[in-house]
C-alpha cells in the first residue's frame, strides 16, 4: 500500500511538474455528435528513475520516451480516465496547485453509475479488479 509520505511526494511532483486535463468536447460519429471527456494526468521530466518509481508505486500509467532535438531525453508518465481517478483520490489530501482539477475528476467519477442501480466501486475493489485483469 502507498504510504502518506510517498503520496505527498507524488502530489508535489504533480504540483510542480505535472499537468491535468479535464475537458469536455464534441465528437462527431456516423450516428451523431456526442459529448466526450478527455481526462488525463501527465508528468514529463528528464529524471527517468523518478518516473519508474512513480509507475511502480502507483501501479498504473504508461511511461514513454519523449525525444527532443538538442535537449536531454525527456520521459512522460501518463494515465487517463479511471486510472486518473484512482491517482486523484490518492493525491487529493496533499495537492495544492492542481487541487481544483483533481477535485473535478473526483466529482466526475463520483456521479457516474457503472451499472443500472450500482454506484461507483470503491478504490480497493477497483484495484483488486485491475490486478485480476493484469494476471
| CB neighbour class for 38 (10 Å; exposed up to 12, middle 13-18, buried from 19) | exposed
Q: What is the arithmetic mean of pLDDT over 8-29?
A: 93
| CB neighbour class for 32 (10 Å; exposed up to 12, middle 13-18, buried from 19) | exposed
Query: What CATH number should be reported for the domain whose range is 4-134?
Result: 3.10.28.10
Q: Do 80 and 86 contact (CB within 8 A), yes or no?
A: no
H or E segment at 122?
Answer: none
**Could you read off the pLDDT of 62-114 as tens digits, one per residue?**
999 988 888 899 999 999 999 999 999 999 889 999 988 998 998 888 864 44
Domain residue extents for the chain: 4-134
List the grid coordinates of 22.
479535464
Amino acid at each position: 500500500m502507498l504510504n502518506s509520505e510517498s503520496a505527498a511526494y507524488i502530489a508535489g511532483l504533480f504540483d510542480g511538474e505535472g499537468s491535468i486535463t479535464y475537458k469536455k468536447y464534441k465528437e462527431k460519429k456516423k450516428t451523431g455528435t456526442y459529448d466526450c471527456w478527455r481526462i488525463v494526468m501527465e508528468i514529463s521530466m528528464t529524471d527517468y528513475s523518478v518516473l519508474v518509481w512513480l509507475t511502480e508505486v502507483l501501479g498504473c500509467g504508461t511511461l514513454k520516451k519523449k525525444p527532443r532535438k538538442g535537449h536531454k531525453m525527456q520521459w512522460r508518465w501518463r494515465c487517463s480516465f479511471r486510472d486518473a481517478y484512482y491517482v486523484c483520490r490518492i493525491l487529493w489530501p496533499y495537492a495544492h496547485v492542481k487541487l481544483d482539477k483533481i477535485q473535478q475528476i473526483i466529482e466526475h467519477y463520483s456521479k457516474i453509475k457503472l451499472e443500472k442501480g450500482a454506484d461507483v466501486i470503491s478504490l480497493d475493489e477497483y484495484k483488486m479488479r485491475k490486478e485480476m485483469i493484469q494476471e
